[in-house]
Structure 1
Amino acid sequence: MLTAVKHPEVLAPAGTPEKLKVAIDYGADAVYIGGDAYGLRSRAGNFSFAEMKSGADYAHQHGAKVYVAANIVAHEQNLAGAGSFYRQVRDAGIDAVIVSDPSLIETAITEAPGLKVHLSTQASATNYETLNFWQNEGLERVVLAREVGIAEIKEMRQHTDVQIEAFVHGAMCIGYSGRCVLSNHLSLRDANRGGCAQNCRWKYDLFDLPDLGQKRELVGHGPDGKAEKFSMSAVDMSMIEHIPDLVEAGVDSLKIEGRMKTVHYVSTVANVYSTAVRKYCADPANYQLDPAWVDELWKVAQRELSTGFYYGTPNEEFQLFGQRRRLPHYAFVGEVLAYDAATRQVTVQQRNNFGIGDQIEFYGPNFSHHTQAVTDLFDEDDQAIDRAPHAMQVVHFTCAQPVQPGDFVRAQARH
């Protein structure tokens, strides 16, 4: 009988120092961040070297790791200073750097000895020969192309012992392995150097040109039959229902997309995947998917969810077209600062408008939850109020069950 199995790493995004701490507090085994250069998320809250060191210290104190994404496709003007950048990353205590460009990989290995290197998904690794090539070049881990399926991962695992990392949740790029020139073409922003304008998420007109000078607009129809302009946007990925397949295939690190996502998203997704992985690895023979995990992920979903390429080539159901089949119905409204057991008063720092009569849900690490209605509400001066409308306002109210500092609060969206 199969008992415990190897615990794969749950790797969460951390676009800011706050999100780094939240991801780790909510169960992530590792986080990936960006620096001030060489990353593909120029608009994320990227880290200074001092923030990298502080983040790495926090992670290591909690038994977690930090990786820095430096995975641009470099042009000549991007190469100067790369050696110094990697040395400072290494000296900040970062556990590894994620790179796709061969010249930058060589620079990291030769000019920052001791800094571990992971191959980015941008490099499109889709076979075990490629994995072995990069391992022979000195890389510790390969982040697979997003177009690789479960059966292919199993075959790779049989022929290589390099660490395998794979995306399991979050936004999917319409470009092969994230390499796209659409943004550069339409917006003069190079997606391969951190400037993606998300052009694939736009709606487009499509025209038939039967004869010279003629133009006829073609309009699609969504599942509801209503006319709609065309979209090339992929739905998001979710593999929460397939944790056993990922672990048994030999994936070492389960990667969550989203360095530009909110604290609400990071905490929720890290919480769900770490809980599911922990339960499966502890007792795989008796493991069962908890429907509450799926429901939890829908509370922060931005788009439809699918399994991407894991079980075959995506079809039209894997594209954003037509009316959404399911919508999130919660808003992130606050963070718990303190709880007084004697008075049953919780102190919350507000993040979004909420007030008396709202149904709210507290959630915390290890998948702790409870729901209640807000029956009273007081501001910092202990004055009774109906609502908390001001950003970062500190309020307190009666809480039916004990909660912990660092727990978060959601409210059901008003319709």
Structure 2
Amino acid sequence: MEKLLSKPKYQGKRVRLEKPELLAPAGNLEKLKFAVHYGADAVYIGGQKYGLRSNADNFTFEEMREGVEFAKKYGAKVFVATNIYAHNEDIEGIEEYLRNLYEAGISAIIAADPAIIEVAQRTVPLLEVHLSTQQSTINWQAVKFWKDEGLPRVVLGREASLEEIAEIKNNVEIEIEAFIHGAMCSSISGRCVLSNHFTDRDSNRGGCCQSCRWKYDLFEDAREQADNSTGAEPPAVLQPGITQLPLFEEDDHAFTMGSKDLCMLENIPDLIEVGIDSFKIEGRMKSIHYVATVVNVYRQAIDAYFEDPEHYELKSEWLDELNKAANRPLNTGFFYDTPDHEDHIYVPEEKAAPYDFAGLVLEYDEAEQTAVIQQRNYFKLGQEIEFFGPKGTFFKQTVTEMWDEEGQPLEAARHPLHRIRMKVDQPVAYFDMMRRKH
């Protein structure tokens, strides 16, 4: 993976030097467990209501309680996104919902609508309220307003620069959370209405259809062209009463409005030293492999910095790891300057990450040098695979021998969630992951 950044490092005032919280997405209970195992200090999830990811496998209250209990064993917290902009009918039932969140052990909600914030502060005052990025907060006076309203943390708009963050930290004593990795929205902090107009799905109530990622063609009015020319070809009639001519050639790429993804791995020292309290990774809809890989890389980078800030160096293998889970080209967002045409995607995206999550390690037998693997995706004898894990496991090998639960030899692992025993070249541990290249 080539270096992302050709921009100068942040040269402003360093605010403080404290280890930030690493905050990871969790679209379901299994992803929550992987995020925590792979190094997250906190996770944010969605419930059955009031969140902006209605298509995610959102949590029931029972799953929330299980997730909170699991996270506490590892010293981690669970936050719930209640970040819709509510219409009148959305408010009914919010008090009961918030009480259930508090009783489930949730540490904080992430909210944007002042109505939801007020109800939470009045109904469950011991449940922290963090201001959502949906409020597009990017200046210290707005941050101070929300602090005066009793909020302990503000999630800044993605449009905030490092200089602006430093000014906020210099003027307001409050926790600042900022996105440092993941998808960027082409609108301001996600407040978009394209989805409403195109599909009648409200982006600000959890229904975004990601219309900025669609492929678009460009047309001109053929009637005007015909009026202004002699001997022109008859205009193409695409629909009754409408005449349009495509401006793209058949082999041209369709146009999108999608932005490149954010990645600040190369700039961990700047993020820490400017005083950001919580490093947030986007991706509640992303795969388990994505969540585990990205969290694991940022965990290593943050810990390495605090082990020896003066001699900290970015490791090339961290960038290589991120590339194995990347969905789109990467950049540094608004942290150093305003994105321009080079920070958007104009050709078809390579949606799939280059590696599949092939299996989860359940057991390891040191004497036999075998591991019990819960199979997740197809793999077979002769394929090269990789193992990686939260405790530093990383190696490649070829699949040489494997057996089913009855001890019968297998040539291929075809059935998801089946337990398979296989030879491994090096020791592995519970919750290590096995992946294979496409």
TM surpasses 0.5: yes
Partner AA of 1:283 in structure 2: D
Helix, strand or coil at the partner of 2:328: coil
Equivalent of 1:83, from 92, 95, 113?
Answer: 95
Mapped pair 1:69 → 2:75: no
Deviation at residue 366 of structure 1 after TM alignment: 3.6
The structure-2 alpha-carbon separation of the partners of 1:6 and 1:366, relative to structure 1 and needing over 3 Å to count, comes to farther
Distance change (3 Å), C-alpha of 1:324 and 1:68 = closer
2:151 corresponds to: 139
- Distance between the aligned counterparts of 1:124 and 1:186, measured in 2? 24
- TM-score when normalising by structure 2: 0.89
Which of 72, 76, 79 is the matching residue for 1:60? 72
Q: Which runs of 5+ in 1 are unaligned?
A: none
Does the 8 A contact of 2:22 with 2:40 survive in 1?
A: yes
Secondary structure of the structure 2 residue equivalent to 1:72? coil
1:99 aligns with 2:99: no
Aligned to 2:405: 380
String of CA shifts for 1:200-259, please: whole Å, max 9, x gaps: 1110111233755653322289xxxx6211100111111111111111111000000011
Decide whether the 8 Å contact of 2:402 with 2:420 is kept in 1: yes
> Aligned in 2, Cα 1:348/1:74: closer, same or farther, shift over 3 Å?
same
Name the CA shift for 1:324/1:189 in 2 (closer, same or farther; >3 Å).
closer
Within 1, Cα distance between the matches of 2:105 and 2:416? 35
**Once the 2 structures are TM-superposed, how far is the Cα of residue 368 of structure 1 from its aligned partner?**
2.5
Q: Partner residue of 1:254?
A: 279
Percent identical = 48
Gaps of 5+ in 2: 1-13, 225-241
Tell me, in whole angstroms, the C-alpha distance in 1 between the residues paired with 2:426 and 2:115. Answer: 55
> Are the structure 2 counterparts of residues 328 and 56 from structure 1 closer, same or farther at C-alpha, using a change threshold of 3 Å?
closer
- Tell me the CA shift for residue 350 of structure 1: 0.9
Query: What are the superposed Cα offsets for residues 65-86 of structure 1, whole Å, 9 maximum, x if unpaired?
Result: 1110000010000001111111
Are the equivalent residues in 2 in contact too, given 1:29–1:65 (CA < 8 A)? yes
1:167 maps to: 179
Give 2:52's aligned residue.
40
Task: Describe the SS at the equivalent of 2:325.
Answer: coil
2:219 is aligned, of 191, 194, 207, to 207
| Structure 1 residue 7: Cα displacement | 0.3
Equivalent residues in 2 for 1:184-263 (5 A)? Answer: 184-209=196-221, 212=224, 215-219=244-248, 227-263=252-288
TM-score (norm 1): 0.94
Give the counterpart letter for 2:193 in structure 1. V
Are residues 1:355 and 2:367 paired? no
Q: What secondary structure is seen at the aligned counterpart in 2 of 1:231?
A: coil
* Paired amino acid for 1:251: I
Q: Distance in 1 between matches of 2:159 and 2:305?
A: 25
State the partner residue of 1:276: 301
CA distance 1:326–1:100, shift in 2 (3 Å): closer
- In 1, are the aligned partners of 2:325 and 2:355 still within 8 Å (CA)? yes
What SS does the aligned partner of 1:122 have? Answer: helix
Return the offset for 1:92. 1.2
Shift of 1:322: 2.3
Amino acid at match of 1:390: H
Tell me: CA distance 1:74–1:324, structure 2 relative to 1, closer, same or farther (3 Å): closer
User: Is the contact made by 1:275 and 1:366 (CA closer than 8 Å) also made in structure 2?
Assistant: no
Distance 1:157 1:312 in 2: 19
Kept in 2: contact 1:126–1:144 (CA 8 A): yes
One-letter amino acid of the counterpart of residue 267, structure 1: A
Alignment-derived partner of residue 11 in structure 2: none
Contact 1:238 1:305 in 2 (8 A): yes
Give 1:130's aligned residue: 142
User: Cα RMSD over matched residues?
Assistant: 1.8
Letter in 2 for 1:302: N
Structure 2: how far apart are the matches of 1:402 and 1:91? Answer: 41
The reply on whether 1:411 has 2:402 as its aligned counterpart is: no
**Could you say which structure has the larger radius of gyration?**
2
Contact 1:220 1:230 in 2 (8 A): no
Aligned mates of 1:387, 1:169 — CA distance in 2: 36
The 2-side partners of 1:145 and 1:317 are apart by 21
